[in-house]
Amino acid sequence: MKIWFDGKLVDSAEAQVSVFDHGVLYGDGVFEGIRFYSGKVFRLQEHIVRLFDSMRYLMIDSPWTFEEVCAATEETVAANGMEDGYIRLVVTRGTGDLGLNPRNCPKASMFIIVQNIALYPAEMYEKGLSMITSSFRRPNPDILCPQVKSLNYLNGISAKIEAVQQGAGEALMLNQHGNVAECTGDNIFIVRNGVVMTPPLTEGALGGITRHAVFDICTELGIPCVEKVMNRFDVLSADECFLTGTAAEVIAATSLDGRTIGTGQAGPITNRILARFRTLVRE
């Protein structure tokens, strides 16, 4: 496996991050999860725009330009000779000392990994996955901004632990008002009376690239798609529910807290969107 590490492709054994890197010590950094299909990176520029927005928010100065990061990503995909796969692009604050002061880290560090990924088994895309409602809330934007895709994922990991302990595939996460924000690593959509709905980003969700793709697909297929503030009642009373994310793609969610959503199977609109998504990524 070849990994792009601070400007050059190296074998995985050579890609070593310092124990003094602030990404390791404090979760001080950002990342992107990106997919490629048939050797072509899906919506690469959208991902790198989000990466640079996150870096700008955290005041991480990139040693590489936007164009150089795009080129490095494509170079890493080509070097590994894979047709389909997943890219993990990570930017850390870089090597510093044991203090919090980011100014003691003179230069950011970046590495790009390419691997296979299968977040859920194939049969789950037909049967759907189960969810529980997490006791952990998404933090307010003034505590941890949900639009920054940072290395600090303890909030989501804590909720994921709850889901695993209860035998569920995912955890639904609410905000401080009890409204639906998103899941641990996916955006959530519901379908009611033929209308696709998802929470506004102001409710605490990340602006997902696959989320944006679903908006485009709905427009193309003539399916109404709106942002709507919702709570657990809306999810439980929905005709269909599905989750979206780079790793998950588009997958039905068919139960919440032991209660069936819709028919308990992936619904017709979910299946239409998933089918179109699978062709879109290879066009």
- Alpha-carbon distance of 38 to 85, in angstroms, equals 9
DSSP label at 102?
A: G
- Which burial class, exposed, middle or buried, applies to 168 when counting CB atoms under 10 A from its CB (0-12, 13-18, 19+)? buried
Report yes or no: 214 and 225 within 8 Å, Cβ to Cβ: yes
- Alpha-carbon distance of 158 to 162, in angstroms, equals 7
Which candidate in 8, 107, 127, 149 is catalytic? Answer: 149
Contacts of 205 by beta carbon, 8 Å cutoff, 6+ apart: 138, 146, 181, 182, 187, 198, 199, 211
- Alpha-carbon distance of 31 to 69, in angstroms, equals 12
DSSP string of 25-85, one letter each residue: HH--EEEEEEEEETTEETTHHHHHHHHHHHHHHHTPPPSS-HHHHHHHHHHHHHHHT-SSE
Contacts of 99 by beta carbon, 8 Å cutoff, 6+ apart: none
Bridge partners (DSSP) listed for residue 131: 170, 256
Question: Is-catalytic flag, 149?
Answer: yes
Contacts of 146 by beta carbon, 8 Å cutoff, 6+ apart: 138, 139, 181, 182, 201, 204, 205, 206
Task: Give alpha helix (H) positions in the chain.
Answer: 22-26, 44-58, 66-80, 124-127, 154-165, 209-221, 232-236, 268-280
- Alpha-carbon distance of 94 to 253, in angstroms, equals 39
* Active site members: 149
